[in-house]
Amino acid sequence: MQDVLSFADESGISKSSPCYTIGILNIPANYIDEFNFHVEEIYKSSGVQGEIKWEKVRKSAGQINLCLDLLRFIIQSPCTFHAIAVSKAPYKKWHKNEEEAFFTTYNQLLNQSSKGLNANCKVYIDQKSTKYSKQDEVMQIITNHMLAKLPTSSKIQHVKMENSKLHWGLQAVDIITGAINTGYLLYFNPNAQMQIAKKIAIKRMAGILGWDQLVYDTRPNNILNIWHFPRETRAIPATKAVTPNLSVPNISREKYDQIIKSVK
């Protein structure tokens, strides 16, 4: 049975967002050194300073291209990515206890992303303040109970909160998860105020997946899974297969400047 390192992060928890997304990036343990090397090379070529974060995609072609390069790399690698995109309004539990509701969906995603791996999974999640100091241990116990009921040999060895600055995996999953949540947010609110750089990145990342918008849930696949939750939100606006188009180009500094000038 293989060993897998799973890196997870969330986006959209703020009160103003109509949706939130949790993403998990599963990396075979024997691939982690190569993964780290490639992500560091992407980072160096982008010109971005400091930690890689979706929130920092604001005003440069380099920030946009980092997102595109990361997505291309991940879908061509032996890694798998799973996300649960949650619409808050119909999620009844969210309106009773937000933290409990959030971790319920976190456990569901951990279960869904782990069951097909038949692996021992070590899960690293971005640091998050919670009411219960041992929330990571609870997540491990609950998810293992869920996995034990399924025809899988997968097991969560530990869940641990980590500083994202120390892990390329946490920084990479921040980018992909943030982009997916922002694409979903634009479905609910097409006029949402955000940086043009984010909109350009989302559009081109959707193109890399073979889509016109980064707003769909997916058919089960081994590349990238997006699960809309709760049940009544599935296939809204549509369910689409991931058909990678790696020829979607990066954006030049000149093209980015033209776009910015045209919207001013």
Count of beta carbons in the 10 Å neighbourhood of residue 212:
11
The pLDDT of residue 133:
65
pLDDT in tens, 4-61: 999 999 999 988 899 999 999 999 999 999 999 999 999 999 988 899 999 999 989 9
CATH architecture classification, 2-263: 2-Layer Sandwich (3.30)
Cβ contact 208:244 at 8 Å = yes
The pLDDT of residue 264:
63
The pLDDT of residue 1:
79
Cβ contact 215:188 at 8 Å = no
Query: If you average pLDDT over residues 222-242, what whole number do you get?
Result: 95
**Cβ contacts of residue 120 below 8 Å, gap of 6+?**
1, 2, 3, 4, 154, 155, 157
Top-confidence residue, 135 or 186: 186
Please state, rounded to an integer, the average pLDDT across all residues of the chain. Answer: 93
The pLDDT of residue 109:
94
State the virtual CA torsion across 125, 225, 221, 28 in degrees, nearest 10.
-20
**Residue 131 per-residue DSSP state:** S
The pLDDT of residue 206:
98
Cβ contact 85:229 at 8 Å = yes
pLDDT in tens, 69-92: 999 999 999 999 999 999 999 999
Count of beta carbons in the 10 Å neighbourhood of residue 11:
27
